[in-house]
């Protein structure tokens, strides 16, 4: 598959997520101008060229859940990268202490 214009836009947005913060697939989709495109965001990340060095691990499911299949290598990789940035991860979940810090996590 070759990248579409929407893929480029999605990559651009993910690229701009600051270290230490996370966004949901749906949120990235909205910011890219595709309010119903959460699944397309997931696809765009999956096919993203490695050399773009996208911080794909900062994109999680709504409700702070890691959406990658828990048995995959990519899952473990995402957990490791998130912890490296200070997040507390329990199983497939990203724990956020306060409500206010939740907002901060959603965009620095």
Q: How far apart are CA 53 and CA 47, in angstroms?
A: 12
Count CA atoms closer than 13 A to 92's CA, side-chain side.
14
Stretch that binds DNA, among 40-48, 80-88, 100-108 (CB under 7 A): 40-48
By CB under 7 A, tell whether 25 contacts DNA. Answer: yes
Per CB under 7 A, the list member of 10, 42, 82, 105 interacting with DNA is 42
Among residues 29, 23, 64, which one has the least CA distance to residue 43? 29
Residue ranges in 71-90 that form contacts with DNA under rule CB under 7 A: 74
Per CB under 7 A, the list member of 10, 22, 68, 105 interacting with DNA is 68
Residues 68, 26 contacting (CB under 8 angstroms): no
Per CB under 7 A, the list member of 17, 32, 45, 94 interacting with DNA is 45
Count CA atoms closer than 13 A to 4's CA, side-chain side.
8
Residues that bind DNA (CB under 7 A): 1, 4, 6-7, 24-27, 36-43, 45-46, 56, 59, 61-63, 67-69, 74, 93
């Amino acid at each position: 598959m070759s990248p579409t214009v929407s893929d480029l836009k999605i990559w651009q947005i993910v690229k701009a997520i600051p270290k230490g913060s996370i966004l949901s697939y749906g949120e990235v989709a909205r910011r890219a101008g595709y309010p119903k495109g959460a699944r397309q965001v997931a696809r765009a990340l999956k096919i993203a060229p490695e050399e773009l060095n996208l911080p794909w691990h900062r994109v999680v499911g709504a409700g702070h859940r890691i959406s990658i299949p828990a048995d995959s290598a990519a899952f473990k990789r995402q957990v490791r990268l998130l912890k490296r940035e200070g997040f507390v991860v329990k199983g497939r979940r990203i724990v956020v202490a306060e409500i206010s810090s939740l907002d901060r996590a959603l965009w620095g």
